[in-house]
Amino acid sequence: MSEIIENEELLEEDEGIITLEDENGETVDFEFGDMIDYKGNSYAVLIPLDEEDTDIIIMQVEAEDEDTGDTTLGPIEDEKLLNEVFEIFKERHADEFNFE
């Protein structure tokens, strides 16, 4: 279903492409899928550009730097919350994706 990459910082957003840097300094490109506001928080749904990787990533928006515009994303620790946010994404995008 969803996989979490911990403590990532949003580096670049250009035409829906988001590049994240993991704790090892490696960059991974994602397509921005949706921003979901739920229970007082915002969650970014990211879809990997690598066709071999089929895991959608859902991360909580933790902070936004007003000066630089950088957004910090973090993991969702609560599995129930993660599933609830994923269900909202599936409902919104049922016509676009094949959720099996």
pLDDT of residue 16: 74
Cα–Cα–Cα angle for 41, 39, 57, rounded to 5 degrees = 55
The torsion of the CA quartet 51, 31, 76, 43, rounded to 10 degrees, works out to -150
pLDDT in tens, 17-27: 888 777 788 88
> Hunting for tokens 């670049």 — which residue is that?
12
Answer yes or no: pTM beyond 0.85. no
Distance CA 51, CA 48 (A): 7
Local confidence band at 15 (pLDDT 50, 70, 90 cut-offs): low
Helices (H), the chain: 79-92
Residue 50 has pLDDT above 70, yes or no: yes
